[in-house]
Amino acid sequence: MRLLLLDNFDSFTHTLADYLRQLGAEVVVRRNDVPLPELQQTAWDGIVLSPGPGVPAAAGVMPAVIAHYHARLPMLGVCLGHQALGEFFGAELGRAARPMHGKVSSVAWAPGAALAAGLPAVTPATRYHSLVLREPLPAALVALAHTTGGPGPPELMALRHAAWPLFGVQFHPEALLTPDGRAMLANWLRFCNIAKPVPSAAG
């Protein structure tokens, strides 16, 4: 199965691509300065929106990719990609309680969250961001995870669309200090039927 990994000019993109390939997906990395019609020439089975600097509105073709494909293909947004999905469906983006660049937080998952299937209810996650999606979320979006046990109020760390297979994580699942990140990516692939299930020992 073929994934489009839309690269928002981020140093983590190729690590993310490597994880997804290890899990059985064919990954094609294209930067966000590629015109949408060029991306439409390939038949994709799913789309991953990478981390990156800045705000979603300034991330090249990414908003147009979401607008075109959101009702057609599964998506996973990571960090900036997560924020872009949230904004597309009407969520508000604002300043986090404090900038988190290379910091690890405990993340508490909602019961039954597909991305956290088989994982502990609370997992460590590496964060590189200064903006977060505000709550309450629009009715189309469902919160899946929040920070827990840290200073300040809980902040949104993961979401999904209420009807379509669209997911977002504010943290970096591909970071070394997110030990369950590979399993989260495997869960997304399984949930979206993009790649064959991998043996539990591998994910």
Quick one: which of 81, 85, 83, 108 has its CA closest to 95?
A: 83
pLDDT in the model for residue 203: 30
d(CA 34, CA 36): 6
Note whether 136 and 86 are within 8 A (CB).
Answer: no
- Active site includes 14? no
Give the active site residue among 82, 129, 146, 174: 174
Q: Which domains are seen in the chain, by residue range? A: 2-202 (3.40.50.880)
- Active site includes 146? no
pLDDT in the model for residue 105: 97
pLDDT in the model for residue 196: 45
Q: Give 10-residue mean pLDDT values along the chain (203 residues).
A: 96 97 96 98 96 97 98 97 99 91 95 97 97 98 96 94 96 97 96 56 32
| Placement of tokens 């995870």 in the chain | 145
- Active site includes 172? yes
Question: What residue type is assigned to position 161 of the chain?
Answer: H
pLDDT in the model for residue 101: 83
Give the active site residue among 129, 146, 161, 172: 172
Quick one: which of 39, 124, 47, 119 has its CA closest to 84?
A: 47
Q: Which residues pair with 128 in a beta bridge?
A: 101
Prediction pTM value:
0.93
pLDDT in the model for residue 69: 97
